[in-house]
Each structure stands twice: as C-alpha cells, then as structure tokens.
Structure 1
C-alpha cells in the first residue's frame, strides 16, 4: 500500500508539472520567444536632446570597456553624458575623466552625490543626482545605463527613434550578458529566461496589461514621464529598481516597451559560481517582497515545475512505472524546448537545454540563501552597502 501511494504521488506530481509546462508554453505571453527586439522606427524630423546618466561605484575594472562606447555615440541631436561617482574607492571618477580626455566624443560630466540618506539605495541616490544635473540641460529623454554596459555606436539613435516612433515613455533593452566561463554558460542564459518567464516581454508592452518591467542596464526614459511618475523619488528604496521604475511609469499612465538587445552588451565578468551567486541572491528575496509565504510558494513551485520531471523519469525507470516516465519526460521535453531559443540567442550549445533543472536547483538555493541573509540582518548587500527591508518606507506611486 505504501509503495503504491509513493508511485501515485510521483505520477501525479509529474502530471501536474506537465500541466504547468503546457500552461506556461501556451498562456504565459510566449515568454520563451526571443524575437522581441526594438520595434519599428523612423528617424524623427528633429532629434530631441538626450542626457545619459551612468551611476558608478567601484567600476574602474569595466569602465575602459564601456564608457568610451557611450562617448562615441553617433547621435544627430544634442547629447551628453553624466557619470555619477557613488563613493568609489578605486578611482572610478578620475578614470572616467581620463577616458574622456583620451577618447573625446560626447561631453562628459563627472560628479558625486555623497552618501545616500536613509530610505535611499545608493544607485537610486546616484541616479537622482544625475537626473538633477541633466535637467539643467532640459533633455527630452534620459538614458539610464549601468557602468558595465557597452553600446554600439548607433545604440542611442535607435533607442530614441523607437521611443519617438512608438510614443513610448520607456524603451528598455535587456543587455546581452557575458557568457564565457563554464558557470556563465550554465547560469546566465537561464537568468534571462527566468526573468522573461516572470515578465513576458510581449505582455510588458501591452498598455492594458498590468505586467511591468525594465532592464536596468539600458532604460531610455522620457523626462516628462519621469516627472509624472516621480522617478526616482517614488522608488527610492527599491533594490530591484528597474522593475520598480517600469511599474511607476506604467502606473502613472505611461507606455513602456522591453525587449532583448542586439547591440547592447554587459562587459562585467562572472567567472566563478560565487560571483553569479552574489548577483542573484542579493535581490532574490527582495523580489519576493521579503514574504515567507511567497518564499515557500516559490521554492515549492520551482521544485514542482523544474525538479519533478527528471525525478519522475528516474523514479519511473527505477520501478515506478511507465506513467511516471511518460509524464516526466513530456514535461522535461517542453521545458528544454522552451529554453532552446534563449540558448540560440546566447549562441550556446543546445545540449545545455536538458540541464535546465540543474540550473533551476541552483537558483532555488540562491533564493533560499537570499532569505537567510535577510533574516541574519544582511539584507541586499552590494559593493559594501547593505539594504535591509524598508520597514518605514511606504510604496509610493
């Protein structure tokens, strides 16, 4: 009787997992497709002025690979770059000035905001300072981009043309992350895949849909929309600031667009598992709003959707029967099939697709570790700063 109950539990878990995958495949905004690129665009009659804001903290290692690409933007209108040195200890500000002297190009202003006051994350405090400097130039658009992001020479031109043509208040591209080390190949494409599963890009772009997200490495933001949404003040405590920004803009009636990049690349290396672990775990529990019930649901969901299929196949081959093998293999096949487009986008071998359950198990552990660090009082730690749960700061929209 006990053996029969165990077999039934495995079979039913596999069936539920398969049903979940069929729902994801057919009803989750086609999240698995990677053809959401910059929308159709035409050059505006008059190119609007743009200011580029780059928050930077201890970025001397990557700045020589990224900042020159911003300074070299082939933009027909007026544009300039504001790099906000957020208390760096590695000479980031001095290096930025030297790179501007050496490479020329767009005008560069380097300034520092001082330490963030209570209730602000360091990055958003730096963004606030950069936007304040930029507003003196009366730009129509702000390009918020990270210090590790390299742009093709026509990147700014294409972003502005897309926003102007489509009437978007936010045009954001998910930068192509680096995939060179073994761990990057295993973890990075899955990171973008999971993000798209949570925030299907097509659904983000629909005005009637509640789903809102952006990719913080590359966000073109209309200045008027930022003022209406009170960005960044309204999201000053957000650790996952890109999603919070998109929600604020969409919630105030703005139109947003999010897709994968073709010519915007992250140059930051994550050679070791430890580096990738820190990248994910620093904000995973914040994504769950520091809610233990959401954590439990997420862990259960990850296990059911990603881990049950291979377990059911193994159990079925070990004696639990063909039903477990069939349901588990079918769920695993759908899972791997939806992952193939992302692997193609990252130019990775397709044999990595069946390994997605292994990567999901890593993400499950990273999420649990994020919660453990939070309850140990370490919060979302990044570059020497720790952000605890914003107990006293209300969500403002």
Structure 2
C-alpha cells in the first residue's frame, strides 16, 4: 500500500512540476509584459508601473526622463539620444503623483548600490511637472509597488527588487490572462507602441483625432476627468497649497554634478481656464511660486537646476477647439497632451538647442515671476473673451460636473 502511495505522490508531484514548467516557459517566451524578451510592445497602458522599474534597471541611462503621461508623449528617449549623443530612458508613469516621480528617480540613482558597477547613475534628469501631481489627496496608483524599486523610501538598499515580480509575471493567472489578451488583440489598430527605452508612440491618441469631432470629444473627456467633484484630478484639490516635500527631496538627494531640468508641461488654454473656473488659480500661482523658491534655494547649494514654464499662451495652446474640430492638424490630442509632432522642437528648447518662440515657454525665476504671471493671466483673459464657443462649452462641462 505504501509503495503505491509513494508512486502516486511522485506522479502528482511530477505532473505539478511539468505543468509549472509549461506555465513558466509559456509566460517567459510569450512575455506579455516585455520583461524577458526585449522588444516593442503594444497595449501596455495600465502596466507601466509594473514594467518600467525593471526596464530602467536594465538600461542604466545617462539621461533620465520622468513625469506623467504628458512626459511619456513629449520626452522621446530616441530623440534625446539623437540630440545629445547620450543614452536616455523615459521612466514616466501615466497619472503619476509627485511621490511616484520621486521614487522612480530614487530607483534610478539607487541602482548604483545594488551590484551594477557599470551604472554610475544619470548625469541629467528631465522632470515634467503637472499641477495635479501635487494634490495631497491623490495617493500613488494601485499598481505602484515599493518592492520593485532599488531603494526603500528611507534610502535603504533593496537587493531583491529585481525578483519582486517573478511570481506575478511567470506563474500567475493574471499573467496568463494578459498573454491571452495580447494574442487576441495583437492585430487591433490604434494601440500605443512602447519601446524598451520607455518611449511611447501614441497611435491611440492619433486615431482619436481621425474620428468625427475627434479632438472635441477627447478635449471634453479630459476636462471632465479633471473637473469631477469627487475623483476628479482637480475636484478635491486642497485650496491651501501643495505639498512640496517630495520635490525638495528630489533636488536635495540628487548626486553632486547631476543636471536637473524641471518644466511645467504645456496645456491648452481651455485647461488653464478650467483651473480659473474651479477657483484654483491662486493655488496654481502659489504652486509655481513654490517651485521657483525651491529651485532658487537649490542653486544656493550648488545644485545645477533650471525651471521652464510651458503652460503659456502660445501658438500651440491658443487654437480654438469647439468652433471647428481641428482633426489631425490639432496641436493637442486633448486638453493637456501636446501633439507628438512638436516633440523635437520642445526637446530642443529644454536641452538648450534653441530659444522658444514668442509665448512658448519662459525660464521662471524669482526676479521675473510676478511679471511672467501677470502676462499669462492677461493672455488667458484675452483668449477667453475672443473664443466664445470654447468658453460656452467649458461652462457647460463645468455645470455638468457639479453635483
């Protein structure tokens, strides 16, 4: 009896082992998250918090690009490499708050102490800043995990960060479902394409512009996303101000000699009018003033840092949306994502290869801040007065968002 029992146990264990190996092998070679086979991937939206920390650990870039989805679209690592001759990686996360941005930067610099002798850390960090990032009521997204980062929040080395997602990506039902989904929809058009350097080619946004009234629909949807009283990115924004501690950490913790380039991302003037309509303009202005103050203090400590403001009244941001749909010629995909055709011009400004055209951007400093903000407020007011169709639609959307 015992002999038969032992044989049965061995058979069961053998079958379990074979099935496990089949699952692991299938997920390794199928690799739905792009972690084990370095290649471009389609439809990675929603998985960037899982994937990018591991891609970054494999990349050891000289130039780190980080921010939200706005930075995903505008900070093209291939273009940065072409312009600078230096390797670049885009570690931006969709919908990131400033804590997530800070932790991705911590991760990049922390990789120096986890056994990779060739990684001396980025020489330059370009950081896209968005007003909503500093909303104290917005926690890190559900997919964000400290376990996959090279440093803990208090600076301790995490030597096992590269192992954090092995079970989830090689031996889980979710991974099998993701592989099945990718196989099923691999030929579906209008999917963004993600590259192992963190770059994103936004075919999903491009396709939206081709639809009838495509830009108008996308702008309306994005404004609703920000205006919602509960759950809106601005709807529960604390009027008293923004928590700047994570940005202060970024500035102070960057290794000596690192060049930091901060910028406020461009948005359509409808987006700025929305901020005004929601009563957040004073908070928005105070937030920018706090940014300037932090940068000025950092410079007194010998930190190389500059701050650009692209949320201005320019040829990019002033076109009418609701008087006539711009279609594929639109400068913005929605209220806050600038069209990818402006990437090179945008990056050339950030990298000091060209000066901005009238109104495109300004370097913010304490000496010029008040004049710069007065100029912006006047331009926004003038635009609102001369674009009645756009303002009528914005007021209607705002009324819909109120309970």
Band of TM-score, shorter chain: under 0.3
TM-score (norm 1): 0.23
| TM-score, normalised relative to structure 2 | 0.23
Higher relative contact order (CA 8 A, sep 6+): 1
Which structure has the bigger radius of gyration?
2
